[in-house]
A and B are shown apart, each in its own frame.
Chain A
Amino acid sequence: MSAAASFDTDRKIIERYTDQPAWLPARVRAGIEEDFAGDPVQLYALADLDASLNLAETWVALGPNRIALARDEDDAHPVVRSFPRTSIREVRLEPGLSCSTLCFLGDPDEPALARVRFTHRQRRAMENIQFVVEQQLDGRGVEPRDADDVYADAVAAPVRDAQALVASNDMAVIWRLLSYLQPYRGQVAFGMVSAAMLTLLSLVPPVLSGWIIDNVVNPVQQGSLPIDEGLRRAWWGVGAIAGAYALRQACAWARLRWMAVLGENVARDLRTELYEHLQGLSLSFFSRKKTGSLITRVSSDTDRLWEFLALGVVDVSLSVIQLVGLSAVLITIDWKMGLVMTLPVPVLCWVTFQQGERMNRIFLRAWRKWSRVTDILSDTIPGMRIVKAFNQEEREKQRFDARNRDVTDEFNALHRVWTTFWPILMLFVRGMVVLVWVLAVPRVLGDSPAAVTLSSGDFVTFLLLMTMFIAPIDIIGQMARIMNRATSSAHRIFEVLDTQPQVVDQGDPVRLEPVQGRVEFRDVTFGYDGVRQVVRGISFVVSPGEVIGLVGPSGGGKTTVTNLIARFYDVTGGQVLIDGVDVRDLDTGHTRRQLGMVLQDPYLFHGSVVENIRYGKSDASLEEVIEAATAANAHDFLCKLPNGYDTIVGERGHTLSGGERQRISIARAILHDPRILILDEATSSVDTETEYKIQEALDRLVADRTVFAIAHRLSTLRRADRIFVVDEGRLAEHGTHQELLAIEGGTYRRLCELQQELTGSRDAARPKLTPIEGATT
């Protein structure tokens, strides 16, 4: 399903953005497989630099038994050279600025089996090969996955992480955006009709003015019409003009009002859909995307679409109609003068468009310089203490001043360009008006009455209509920019909406009521990306109520193991079972409600302490909240705060110290009363005294639940029933503290000894320093 679609996107990205094939060319593959005596290619990568560091195309392919280097010569058979995997003694990746080298080394006194050079673009794919070969050297196999998909994923990843979709046809995006107007069809129609009426009504006053001159003013002055009749007609005409203006403004009002509301509704629909979709996405999505960029998608991008939907859609479509209509009217009044006015219009639109493009470039340059100004700000304001400590204020002032001047020059250049452009354009338009006069004067006056070929009324109509040309030209010139802004906002929104959650519940999920807390791993393997496995074949059974300490070097995979229990990710091999049921068959939301987490950096939402404690159980009574806070050792310090439990904690709980925030998050977990509890280095970032308080709170929290506690300081694991040592994605040792200490040369024993040494020397160095609680912020 979504996986296949994502590899398709990967291939599209490679084809569109890189200069290399989206997969191993068939000819080369055939050549390699012939060399492999029929064995399949399991994994491949492109070495895009040759020995003299020129761009080239050499494929490195891994088969079950051999590794091949292959190059496609244009006419002949592909050139394939291969060597057995068993002849490899060592594989080394040497990174450089832009050229990395992968060395396959054989016997020490032999030349290297192969050295391939490549740019960073190929690096992930090459690392996949390196990983598999290293595993083989360690005597382990790696289950092969689809070689094409792995390659496409690895090569497309850098571009995909920056922009997850291939910028598709802009028209397609606009159509998709317009489909959001569907529920508001009636309103759209109403808006459009009002706008069309508006345009039509605008034509009425000029036409009436001409009529009054030809049928009232001139006849009366020539005496062919009695003055009474003339006045009567004139007042009718003026009345009609007034009526047309009034109706026109009513239409303008209706149009703005309806479309503005409509645009807002669509923006709201998009925001809601986007936010709901975000809530459903897997954690892997959020680790790829910058928080700021997701926030702007929900906020400013939807806002920009309002602009487009409320004003852009109608303005643009009507401007086109208006121009065409005006031209038609002018040409019917008088074709010669009509052509003088209409022929230059396409040119004017094109010139305005070109001007827009030019402004874009200047603006981009100004924007780049602007970002250098803001860089200084975001650099020095948080670092003000250092600036002052090193007495560098003067230098910072000068640095800022230089960049500030620089950006001002750019903006002034920008202003010079547009301030010159518009007067010149208007001069040109006025020139057309003058040309119309030049053509008209002889014809309106004529040598004799018979030579008058243009009535003065028609001429007045003409003059008034001409003034209506300018606004639509301006809008059409800006159309490209309006569309551009709208499509890029829409693209950014659709990119999120089109991302499928990687963790999805199957049709009829099992609900465990309640969860007992038995957790089992059956030969679980898992990798975040590529073929590199972070968890490699872990198996264990944890009974309900057991407290498990997870220890091991950082990067070993402890957090990943807990992520798999919470099903933030799905395993790539094996099974994770809770109470004997595969987590993929469980109702994920329901299970997570019975699962609690206390993380190293506790996250508090903006709001009061009581709201934060109640986060997982919004109907908890105040007694329960106080009870939980007391159990978490938070009650006492909360009482000291002037606003007590109603204290608002900032975005990230900035007004509280790390230890205090941690205790609030423990209170939250206690109130949540989970069956399975995960503590990920919950006490790592606080001082010893606070740690003691937290530890006390944790001891109360762990009672009667299955607990997975990750800790750096082994002393905090004294309550653990069993200890798992996770190292390089494996369960290296497991057993009770005593059992593990008894293992001669065991990892746990070594870790214990190391820490005792460290704490011993640290305590010796600072005998009298007792940290003050709350002093760490």
Chain B
Amino acid sequence: MTKASSQAVAEGEKGAEPGGLRLWRGHDGRLWGRATASDDARSVRVCRLFPWSQPSEYVSLRDAEDEELALVHRPEDLDATSREALEVSLAEAGFVMQIESIDAVEEEIEIRTFSVQTSQGPRSFQTERDEWPQPLAGGGLLIRDVAGDLYAVPDPDTLDARSRKLLWVFID
């Protein structure tokens, strides 16, 4: 691990201020970091503490053993390289599909099928019939399918009339 990490250190380290948390993207494409200049570099994954209510604050950085390397309160307080590296990882970790319009909602015996257009492309997915979309703070809606994938409707009011009509059952 140690050998690997010292070699994985990349350009991000140049000009590191001693003492502070540093993050950078390694050659291998992963996020690497060290809590203080004297620590070993470790590859970390990001874990948002409040993915829905406070997505841009409070990020826990966890290493392969699931130990917390650091808790970042506000990513903007980091230096530019670290912030950039962190933001890429955050985008990936916080990724959910965004529903742009709804083509159909079909009730079946135990499941409900949604056919939707997302900003990522067309998709159909299923939820259990007694599983309802969750309201998000700020008026949005979050749907979780049987496989665990998440689909967000950030602002139902901006959808087209047909989608809104199909969604009417699920929003307050």
Interface residues of A (CB under 8 A from B): 17-19, 49, 53-56, 92, 94, 96-99, 101, 103, 105, 108-112, 115, 117, 119-121, 123, 158-159, 161-163, 167, 293, 361, 364-365, 368, 371, 406, 488, 491-492, 495
Contacts and interface: CB of A to CB of B under 8 A. Distances in A.
B121 A111 contact: no
B15 interface: no
A316 B20 CA distance: 77
B16 interface: no
B157 interface: no
Contacts, number: 125
By secondary structure, the A interface counts as: mixed
Contacts of B147: 119-121, 123, 158-159
B67 interface: no
B28 A111 contact: yes
A161 B131 CA distance: 14
A47 to B, nearest CB: 13
B92 A368 contact: no
B130 A371 contact: yes
B27 A109 contact: yes
A117 B97 CA distance: 13
A96 B95 contact: yes
A97 B7 contact: no
B4 to A, nearest CB: 4
A54 to B, nearest CB: 5
B150 A49 contact: no
Nearest to B124: A19
A491 B109 contact: yes
Contact of A103 (B30, B96, B108): B30
Contacts of B150: 97-98
Nearest to B106: A167
Interface string B135-147: 0000000000111
B95 A110 contact: no
A101 B126 contact: no
A117 B125 CA distance: 18
10 contacts: A55-B120, A94-B93, A97-B96, A103-B30, A111-B27, A112-B28, A119-B147, A158-B126, A162-B128, A368-B169
A112 B172 CA distance: 46
B168 A361 contact: yes
Contacts of A361: 168-169
A495 B145 CA distance: 21
Given A94-B45, A158-B147, A488-B109, 7 more contacts: A103-B28, A115-B29, A120-B147, A167-B109, A293-B110, A368-B132, A406-B172
Interface residues of B, number: 47
B51 interface: yes
A488 B5 CA distance: 57
Contacts of B125: 18, 121
B50 interface: no
B4 A108 contact: yes
A17 B126 contact: yes
A18 B122 CA distance: 11
A115 B25 CA distance: 14
A109 B8 contact: yes
A365 B145 CA distance: 19
B97 A17 contact: no
Contacts of B110: 162-163, 293, 492
A174 to B, nearest CB: 14
A566 B130 CA distance: 36
Interface in B139-172: 145-151, 168-170, 172
Contacts of A54: 120-121
Contacts of B96: 97-98
A119 B169 contact: no
B3 interface: yes
B111 interface: yes
Contacts of B146: 158-159, 161-162
A53 B168 CA distance: 29
Given A55-B123, A111-B29, A159-B146, A99 B95 contact: yes
**What 10 pairs across the A-B complex have the smallest Cβ distances?**
A55-B121, A163-B110, A108-B4, A158-B147, A120-B148, A99-B95, A158-B146, A96-B93, A112-B28, A109-B7
Given A96-B95, A121-B147, A492-B110, A162 B29 contact: no
Nearest to B6: A108
